[in-house]
Amino acid sequence: MKNSTSLSASLTVVIAIAACGGGNGSSEAAGGLTGTVEIDGSSTVFPIAEAVAEEFQIENPAVRVSVGFSGSGGGFKRFCAGETDISDASRPIKDGEAADCAAAGIEFTELSVAWDGLSVVANPANTFAQCLTVEELRRIWEPGSTVRTWRDVRSDWPAEEIRLYGPGADSGTFDYFTETIIGETGAIRPDFQASEDDNILVQGIAGDGYALGYFGYAYYAENAGRLRLVEVDGGNGCVAPSDETIEDGTYAPLARPLFMYVKHSALARPEVKAYVDFALQNAAELVPSTGYHALSAEQYQQALAAVAAAAGAAR
Amino acid sequence: MPPQLAAEPDRPDSAALSFKRHRSLKEQIIGVVLFVCAAASVLVTVGIVAVLLRETLGFFAEVSLVEFLTNTQWTPLYVEKNFGIMPLAVGSFLVAAGAAVIAVPVGLLTAIFLSEYAGGRLRGILKPLLEILAGIPTVVYGYFALTFITPLLRSVFPETDVFNAASASIVVGIMIIPTVASLSEDALRAVPHALREGAYGLGATKYEVSTRVVVPAALSGVIASFILGISRAVGETMAVTIAAGALPNLTLNPLESIETMTAYIVQASLGDTPHGTIEYQTLYAVGMTLFLITLVMNVLSQWVLSRFREEYQ
Amino acid sequence: MSPPRVPLGAGGRGRDRRRRVAGVMFAVACTAATMVGVVALAVLLGDVIADGSHRLTGDFIGSFASRFPERAGVKAALLGSIWILGLTAVIAFPVSVAAAIYLEEYAPSNRLTKLIQLNIANLAGVPSIVYGILGLTVFVRALSLQRSILSGALTLSILILPVIIMASQEAIRAVPHSLREAAYGLGATRWQVVSLQVLPMAMPGILTGTILALSRAVGETAPLIMVGAVGFLAFTPTGGVMDQFTVMPLQIYNWISRPQEEFHELAAAGILVLLILLLTMNATAIILRTRFRRHH
């Protein structure tokens, strides 16, 4: 039967292509690097990682970079299981996670790549809540909170229901916010829209006049037209996150460093080292383009040196 | 049933011997290979049950069944843990109920139209259109819900949340219209013409024949199609993940955000929770619940079909 | 079928008018209901085309995903979908057809066979995300295949297995018994009857069912979110079946998740590409079905 034969023929071809799979070989092919770089972790850091990956791949098209956003916690799980080369995080690695990595024999270097002014965000139609104190934030978000409406926060605000949006429990931003504002990591009232994907939070808040949420500054910057920043009073008056207030430390307590954790054994692969070097060399340009605050040139130089040392030790 | 095979042509002296005794080795091997492939389907079911059961049992070692079924809060990922499945289950059923409100009447009336009113050519156009509707990927329905239905709803009901159950219900309802319509239509067309003709002969109108003779005669198939449609709605994932929200919320108000069982499974897997923890096990406990609910509904629909079917010769 | 012209009148004028009005209203209701489905389809397609058609350019198909909407495209996702399609076909087709052959030609009609049949019918109704859980646990973790095309293809294969089996069974059942009996009468073995007579006749039906099942697999998102799920991926799977991957529905989902309008337009354009792919597959199936019906 002609059609059966041609079908079997095409199936054979597909099998042949599928079977012709090489392994994850990495080498310097003529004219460029090859291999893979696997990155996962914080959705806050994701915009930076995505920008770096995209620009890096334009220069090195044969390297296969993939970037996930399972959350800082999820990223560390995979990192300490040996599944990823680089883990992005919006909080430092926890002791338990570091122990897991040590138990698995995974050595790593912590690199600070940017500063984030973790932003409290509302809808532009909300003109009354210009500023919130840390105390008020805590009262709104803590477990067992009795705050239902804006009036419960300040008596001269409207008696409209506050609808809350925030990152989910695997997010470093979630960990950082709950630890800093509420005082205990993971302690939060349960009735908020949770998502690991900050874009979903943006969509929710942008569409909801009485919404309130928090996420990394980059997601505000990308959507500044449809969101409004709420200033935070950490005891020094109302401060909005900006390059200056992060630099001089007045945007407290929500200014925080963003990290990239690199596995030493991965640095032995030229494509991974090239990626990390590329990231640090171009961070001064790429980080601000995402809305985050870049470190100083010396700090990036120091990071590059740390990477070189780790790579040398790995070989 | 194939008849007893005669022997192979190159064994002319064994014409009367049975198939079993003279199977060549090749035939036996082929038979075994084919059986294994068929048994693979059973292996899949065993796999699903085993995978879900293993972690679910671990889950219920920590959380009592009573809490799982009666607690009205679902907060497994935060410090204060509540493991009540009700918000998720009610979320799923809220969406499914809304979908049924659309799909059941529309599907049934469509089936009646196709079976009793439409001529061959019209049917030839409409049935493929319905098949196209059924073949559209669910992520497309999710897009439609978020970018078209939700803004529409919000212009009519301004208090609607950005992520709400109603949007998801509407698109899931549209999605399962073809299921209800085609299964009902099969049932309606299986009713013998003699019944219709008898009724017409007594002076009934087409409306009366359709509603008082044909549908009651095909009732088992029609109800089975409803149950199957609702089962599909409960199992639907992408449209609800995109449009309905991620807020476990025990409510019957379709304009609010909710979270369905399927959306929770997606959310829990996106975060890549670590093995062995209670959070990881919730993924399987919810998966098991979902599996059991849809299984019961599917079996129910088959039972309704067989038990109440009117037998016509 | 239209009712014979029996004069109404037995029950009195008023009642007849009511019955006639009820009849007309019901007919209108049925027509309206049918139109709901058709109109919904038209509105859905219209919405997607209006949102996305202007982004459907050659660049769109030839570019990788990007954080800049102007630069973004579906290259990785489209090729990933085609790869997974091929691999799933290779895995699912032989096993399913073999199972169907067994059930129709070899199986004795006993309890075990009935159980297998019932089981297959039930599997067809299991939500696709449960298959995702199975795939995540067995292929990604237990068998350590990681989040590779192979894991994705295996998961999808299991998903569409019952669909292909049931379609193949119907096709095989449609082959007339006389054909088999004649072959047996000539002394053929069971496998000879199946492979030389039954299968060739049933093949168009089997292929149609397979292509329709595969087109369903191409549109599936939920199982692959659990087994694949990469955020940013700008390469094509050329390294083999153990590569990471993304597929069209995943890329669309990714773009829908972003709040910016431009990404929603990209999602719509991606949907159009996906729909064209599905349309091609379904058209192939229908052409196959009609072409071979004419030959017999």
- Cβ of B162 and A78 within 8 Å? no
pLDDT at C196: 87
Spatial contact of C51 and C117, defined as CB atoms under 8 Å apart? no
Segment C147-152 mean pLDDT? 88
Gyration radius (Cα) of chain B, Å: 25
What is the rounded average pLDDT for all residues in chain A?
85
Chains A and C form CB pairs within 8 A to the count of: 94
- Cβ of C234 and A24 within 8 Å? no
B273: Cα within 13 Å, side-chain hemisphere: 20
Spatial contact of B264 and A206, defined as CB atoms under 8 Å apart? no
For residue A207, the tally of other CB atoms under 10 A from its CB is 18
Residue-wise pLDDT tens digits, C18-29 = 888 888 999 999
pLDDT above 50 (res B313): no
pLDDT at C76: 87
pLDDT above 50 (res B151): yes
> What gap in Å lies between CA A50 and CA B78, rounded to an integer?
29
Q: Residue B14: pLDDT band by 50, 70, 90 thresholds?
A: very low
Segment A246-261 mean pLDDT? 88
pLDDT at B312: 57
C205, two tokens:
């039906």
What is the rounded average pLDDT for all residues in chain B?
86
pLDDT above 70 (res A20): no
pLDDT above 80 (res A10): no
B66: Cα within 13 Å, side-chain hemisphere: 0
How far away is chain A from the Cα of C150, in angstroms, using its nearest Cα?
A: 9
* A contact chains, 3+ CB pairs < 8 A: B, C
Of C51, C98, C105, the CB nearest to B2: C105
The 3-state secondary structure of chain B, one letter per residue? CCCCCCCCCCCHHHCCCCCHHHCCHHHHHHHHHHHHHHHHHHHHHHHHHHHHHHHHHHHHHHCCHHHHHHCCCECCCCCCCCECCHHHHHHHHHHHHHHHHHHHHHHHHHHHHHHHHCCHHHHHHHHHHHHHHHHCCHHHHHHHHHHHHHHHHHHHCCCCCCCCHHHHHHHHHHHHHHHHHHHHHHHHHCCCHHHHHHHHHCCCCHHHHHHHHHHHHCHHHHHHHHHHHHHHHHHCCHHHHHHCCCCCCCCCCCCCCCCCHHHHHHHHHHCCCCCCCHHHHHHHHHHHHHHHHHHHHHHHHHHHHHHCCCCCC
What's the complex ipTM?
0.87
Q: Residue C129: pLDDT band by 50, 70, 90 thresholds?
A: very high
Region of poorest pLDDT, from B79-83, C30-34, C128-132: B79-83
For residue C151, the tally of other CB atoms under 10 A from its CB is 26
pLDDT above 80 (res B10): no
Over pLDDT 70: what percentage of chain B?
89
Over pLDDT 70: what percentage of chain C?
93
Q: Which among A130, A241, A243, A256 is positioned nearest to A181, based on CA atoms?
A: A256
Give the torsion sign (CA, C38, C44, C49, C50). Answer: positive
Q: Amino acid identity, residue A228?
A: R
pLDDT at C103: 92
Q: Amino acid identity, residue B277?
A: T
pLDDT at A16: 44
Spatial contact of B226 and B100, defined as CB atoms under 8 Å apart? yes
Residue-wise pLDDT tens digits, B54-85 = 999 999 998 899 999 999 888 887 877 889 99
- Who has greater pLDDT, B30 or B270? B30
> What gap in Å lies between CA B100 and CA C32, rounded to an integer?
17
pLDDT above 60 (res B30): yes
Region of poorest pLDDT, from A138-152, A296-310, B268-282: B268-282
Residue-wise pLDDT tens digits, A197-245 = 888 899 999 988 899 999 988 899 889 999 999 999 988 889 998 888 8
E-state strands within chain C:
232-233
Q: Residue A93: pLDDT band by 50, 70, 90 thresholds?
A: very high
Chain centre to alpha carbon of residue C40: 20
Q: Does C90 touch chain A (CB under 8 A)?
A: yes
pLDDT at A15: 45
Residue-wise pLDDT tens digits, B32-54 = 999 999 989 999 999 999 999 99
How far away is chain C from the Cα of B10, in angstroms, using its nearest Cα?
A: 9
- Who has greater pLDDT, B280 or B14? B280
pLDDT at C42: 94
> What gap in Å lies between CA B136 and CA B4, rounded to an integer?
47
Residue-wise pLDDT tens digits, B99-135 = 999 999 999 999 999 998 888 898 888 888 888 888 8
How far away is chain A from the Cα of B44, in angstroms, using its nearest Cα?
A: 24
Chain centre to alpha carbon of residue A285: 18
- Cβ of A15 and C90 within 8 Å? yes
pLDDT above 90 (res C39): yes
Chain C CB contacts of A67 below 8 Å: 230-233
Q: With 0-12 CB in 10 A as exposed, 13-18 as middle and 19+ as buried, what is C295?
A: exposed
Nearest chain A residue to C230, by CA: A68
Ramachandran assignment for A3, one of left (phi > 0), alpha (psi -120 to 50 degrees), beta (any other): alpha
